[in-house]
Amino acid sequence: MSKTIFEELSWRGLVYDATPEFDAWTASGSRTAYIGFDPTASSLHVGSLLPIMGLARMQRFGHRPVALVGGGTGLIGDPSGKTAERQMLTRDAVEENLRGIQTQLEPFLDFGAVSNAALMVNNLDWLGPMGLVEFLRDVGKHFTVNYMLAKESVKRRVQSEDGISYTEFTYMMLQAYDFLELSRTHDCDIQMGGSDQWGNIMAGIDLVRKASSRKAHGLVFPLVTNASGTKFGKTESGTIWLDPERTSPYRFYQFWLNTDDRDVVPYLKYFTWLSEDAISELSDIHEAQPGRREAHRVLAREVTALVHGEAERDQAEEAAAVLFGGALDKVPVKDLRDIFDDVPSTVLPREAFSGDGTGILELCERTGLTASRGEARRLVRAGGLFVNNERQGDEQAVITASHLIEGELLVLRKGKKSYHLVQIEA
């Protein structure tokens, strides 16, 4: 007997909370479910991967996924999980962000399926033209202020010193109205989201019931946690975006590969399509031989391929092999340029390396690899500076043309992972 979508989400640990009849409802027919995406940035980041996969999983179970981008609500700002009033975005900014997000959703959802094709909607389409009077009559009437004040997201802000603006206070009603609208126009009666959306989703379910006497359902995913206590999706070098322009596939791959041991199995469940059996097998391998990092590798491979495609994934793997493998001089310059595509680089004139060349300390400072020569000096003394992947332990060393790979490239490295490319002016 095959699983229901609810059972599927359950074993993956994706059900933080759900309305009581979610399972029965989704098991008994093809339904339509939506998740809202916030256009506060022009790209989604790995944090959005969970809801995106949620929609995709729904679709695989025969349901119709609707991705709602918040063109209208994005202009307002959701107070959930926020402690301060949010910055308002301009219409243009929201527009631009919407386009970016749409392209990123496309690989995950099948928009051409015959019976349950995915759908993308923008709530600006119905929120935009709606007048205030109309809104207050049709939506506002169904909400008591008491009800809204009782919601956690509002309560916290009401108690805070800076309070909450009327605009953000109203956000919940707008999102609830989205649900009503989708229920009317697309027969959508399920909303999913992050656990912080529970309050908003309940508000939507209530509104649908009051305004159209229909029963709606909701399910929220857990907050993705990180065993090391940092915020998921952030690294020292910043947020991990889905947009390859912002986070290169290489970095993306590395992000997953460097997952904390304790998180690897949950992440496999969250972010991949692998079966329960496959994951438990990986889990066993990891238990037995953690050093192999088989689970990490599979996680990185799967997710990178999912987001960036297999070609990009393979290239990211090759790059890693070279970067962590050793000698660079065997690799053609052309490939090196590819591998170091997203690494900071500096272009220096050829004269810098002719004759007496440039001192190693000066080079570090000029390229910005270190903030000062003093820092460079300490780095060299500590044995943390590498030129073309060979440790450079002499602070008096001078770099000349003979160090350049094929006469045009120099790879500086600080520590294990911090690379800097030096190119010669053409």
Contacting positions for RNA (CB under 7 A): 228, 236, 254, 257-258, 260-261, 290-291, 293, 296, 320, 324, 361, 365, 371-375, 377-379, 382-384, 414-418
Nearer to RNA, 92 or 161 (CB): 161
List the beta bridge partners of residue 412.
387, 420
CB 251, min distance to RNA, A: 10
CB 408, min distance to RNA, A: 26
Is the distance from CB of 117 to CB of 64 less than 8 angstroms?
yes
Task: Show the tokens assigned to 229.
Answer: 């206590």
CB 385, min distance to RNA, A: 8
CB 69, min distance to RNA, A: 34
CB 85, min distance to RNA, A: 20
Nearer to RNA, 192 or 412 (CB): 412
Strand order, beta sheet including 418-424: 345-348, 418-424, 409-414, 385-387, 390-391
Nearer to RNA, 178 or 294 (CB): 294
First to last CA, the chain: 66
Burial 227-244 (b: 16+ CB within 10 A, else e): eeeeebbeeeeeebbbbb
CB 254, min distance to RNA, A: 6
Nearer to RNA, 7 or 375 (CB): 375
Nearer to RNA, 106 or 260 (CB): 260
Nearer to RNA, 33 or 295 (CB): 295
Nearer to RNA, 96 or 341 (CB): 341
Q: What angle do CA 267, 270, 272 make, to 5 degrees?
A: 90
Is the distance from CB of 183 to CB of 152 less than 8 angstroms?
no
DSSP string, 342-408: TS-EEEE-GGGGSTT-EEHHHHHHHHTSSSSHHHHHHHHHHT-EEETTEE---TT-EE-GGGSBTTT
CB 418, min distance to RNA, A: 5
| Number of C-beta neighbours around residue 128 at 10 A | 12
